[in-house]
Amino acid sequence: MSRAAEPAPPEPPAYDLIWVGRGIALVAAVLLVLYPILSDDLYYQNMIIFSLVFAIAASGLSIITGLAGYVSLGQGAFIGLGGYTVGVLATRHPDTNVWLWMPLAGVTAGLVALILGFVALRARGPSFVIITVAFLFLVQVIAINLPSLTGGTAGLSLPIPTWDPDIANWPFYYTLVGILALQLLLTWWIRRTKLGTGLVAIREDETKAATIGINLPVEKMIAFVASSVLVGVAGGVYGYYLTFIDPRGMFNILLSVETMLALLVGGKATLWGPVLGAFIVEPLNEIANNDLGGGNTKLLIFGGLLVLIVLFLPQGVLPAIESLLSWSRTRGKAGLVGARIGTAGSLASLTGRLSLVERDPAVERPPLLEVTDLRKAFGGLKAVDGASLVVPEGSITGLIGPNGSGKTTLFNLIDRTIHADGGEIRLAGERIDGLSSWARAHRGLGRTYQITRLFREMTVLENVVAAQRSFSWGQLGRIAVSGPEARAAEELLEYVGMRAFRDQKASALSYGQQKLVELAQVLMLDPRLILLDEPAGGINPVLIGRMSEMIRELNSYGKTFLIVEHNMPFVLGLCDPVHVLGRGRTMASGTPAEIQQDPAVVDAYLGDDFVLEAADVADEPQEATK
Ligand code: ADP
Ligand code: MG
């Protein structure tokens, strides 16, 4: 394998820790399954049954809240909806086996999540939290005010189970264990797919996620539905177990609060954290109810626990234990210090991954990007004020202009990081100004940021693999962390020389390294046009050389570039044509030689003494290509 030839990754993955964790999980699972057989203590069986319900709810919640970062306080509503679905159907059809209604409880929860998602997922942050709370109260009010269906405040009594009282709890207990296993499997699977990396990308930086082809509404909607369906089924089992349900109990906000608390205590971004959290929080809840008088004491315990977690264990118990263990293991070992960028790979190996077409220089170059009269004002400031430019297919086009002349804003308008006030954008002849960021990415637009915007909590490999070059349901379900997707990402990392860092968090990288990874990320889209915002800004000279080498190489295989850069030798040596932006408007366009002689440009931007100096450096590579 070629791994031996690479510079060693700074930290080996902690496989032994993973196995310790798996061992503990296995022992816990076996104990859980055997408990009702070994002990007939109904008090503890009851406690475990409640804990299982919260574990399912919290594990479901970890998809929309832990992965996608949308904090929902309406999760308890799906327990209630499941309970009421089973309750209503069971009382209306007394001759049908109650268990047969359980799948319908999941259908109800999923459908309601779908409808709620259309409204709620347009909002972010605190607005989303408030909408989910409002939703919870709304379903409660509906349940109270539809007595013909739900029994209103008087509640509903479900049929009493008919099986042997000695094992009365077993069917509930084992069904919930089964649902929890399914929920964990679902959560685990989603985390490994392109959908999962997309969701984490959304959590880290939603705007950026859209520009690398992630279809935001669809992915968030899938996450929301996936986080509620099995919770609905569990709610159905819970309702049947209780044998009596009423709106006050089933749509109590404390169910949501307890679910959220379980998620936060255990660790919201982990697979097992929500389960651990539920088995900590629910027993505490029972103790508070039975031994400490419930009511206010319970609120005090919940509130206190929440404050403690936020203050001391913001990542949750499980991640805290993990980092404690791995810290004691790796103490004294060097981290990233001294790590270097690996040797760059050759482009030849990428021709299978990227659609690289060797360009015939004799063929006329049609326009790939046409920007016409683009406008954007921030309040009274016209940042982009009628800019027009053309990027010919196959070119490396430059865009220069003084600080604040609107170059970055122009890029933001082209990839819809922000919305334009007016103007037209065409990519390969097609108008794209009405399209979303991800639709533009799918049509072949890629873009890097002046201040890099990698997903900081994701690894380097995950950052690259997160890019989605097209939308398909099949692609969302594809495994991202291994297999062909990961191999493609690894080859791109090899090309930019960052493969040795594949398992590092993006936040641990230097600025120059981040620029390289962001380039690999954009290449994963296999774009036709790549917008680079100051690719040479703030990085060391060796890296600048490597950067222009890569741009030239990718270009020779047919990739088109539009580059904003302040490093004049870099721009004038690499780009043709060059556009000059001044106060949001295109001041001049032409070859590097023409630009350097344009009196208006020299006056406004380059400065009198600049031309000579830059021309010396710029001449050299141009001569070489002639
Ligand atoms: P450049 O990249 O050419 O240096 P920018 O496009 O970043 O310039 O900025 C152009 C002008 O627009 C500047 O005056 C900047 O302060 C302003 N600007 C950019 N983004 C915003 C924003 N989000 N809100 C308000 N003003 C902004
Ligand atoms: Mg800028």
Ranked by mean pLDDT, the top range of 145-149, 196-200, 591-595 is 196-200
- For atom 20 of ligand 1, the residue with the nearest CA is 409
Range of the domain at 418: 365-625
- For atom 24 of ligand 1, the residue with the nearest CA is 378
Ligand 1 atom nearest to CA at 533: 2
| Distance from residue 383's CA to the centre of ligand 1 (Å) | 6
Same domain as 238, residue 106: yes
Domain CATH for 64:
1.10.3470
Tokens 């709610």 belong to residue: 235
- Does residue 342 lie within any of the structural domains? no
Same domain as 312, residue 372: no
| Distance from residue 127's CA to the centre of ligand 1 (Å) | 27
Same domain as 407, residue 302: no
Question: Rounded to two decimals, what is the model's pTM?
Answer: 0.89
pLDDT class of 316 with cuts at 50, 70, 90 = confident
- For atom 18 of ligand 1, the residue with the nearest CA is 383
Share of the chain above pLDDT 70, in %: 88
Q: Which residues surround ligand 2, an ion (CB under 5 A)?
A: 408, 450
Ligand 1 atom nearest to CA at 584: 10
- Does residue 252 lie within any of the structural domains? yes
- Does residue 244 lie within any of the structural domains? yes
pLDDT class of 474 with cuts at 50, 70, 90 = confident
- Does residue 390 lie within any of the structural domains? yes
pLDDT class of 165 with cuts at 50, 70, 90 = confident
How would DSSP label each residue in 204-273?
A: H-HHHHHHTT--HHHHHHHHHHHTTHHHHHHHHHHHHHHSEE-HHHHT-HHHHHHHHHHHHHH-TTSSSH
- Does residue 593 lie within any of the structural domains? yes
For the residues 478-505, what does the mean pLDDT come to?
A: 90
The span from the CA of 399 to the CA of 128, in Å, is 39
- Does residue 350 lie within any of the structural domains? no
Domain CATH for 597:
3.40.50.300
Does pLDDT of 138 surpass 90? yes
Q: What tens digit of pLDDT does each residue of 273-282 get?
A: 999 999 999 9
Ligand 1 atom nearest to CA at 418: 23
- State the average pLDDT for the chain: 87
pLDDT class of 6 with cuts at 50, 70, 90 = very low
Q: Which of 6-20, 65-79, 361-375, 505-519 has the lowest mean pLDDT?
A: 6-20
| Distance from residue 199's CA to the centre of ligand 2 (Å) | 28
Q: What tens digit of pLDDT does each residue of 17-58 get?
A: 778 878 888 898 899 888 888 888 888 999 999 999 999 999
Does pLDDT of 159 surpass 50? yes
Beta bridge partner(s), residue 74: none
Residue from 408, 417, 421, 451 whose mutation best tests the ligand 1 pocket (most atoms within 8 A of CB): 408
For residues 603 and 553, the model is more confident at: 553
Q: How far out from the chain centre does Cα 53 lie?
A: 27
Q: Which of 276-280, 300-304, 343-347 has the lowest mean pLDDT?
A: 343-347
Same domain as 590, residue 473: yes
Task: State the sign of the Cα–Cα–Cα–Cα dihedral 316, 321, 326, 327.
Answer: positive
pLDDT class of 299 with cuts at 50, 70, 90 = confident
- Does residue 6 lie within any of the structural domains? no
Structural domains of the chain, count:
2
Task: Ligand 1: list residues with CB < 6 Å.
Answer: 378, 381, 383, 401, 403-409
Nearest ligand to residue 584 Cα: 1
Q: What tens digit of pLDDT does each residue of 208-234 get?
A: 999 999 999 999 999 999 999 999 999
Same domain as 320, residue 218: yes
| Distance from residue 209's CA to the centre of ligand 2 (Å) | 20
CA torsion 48-53-57-59 (nearest 10°) is 40
- Does residue 345 lie within any of the structural domains? no
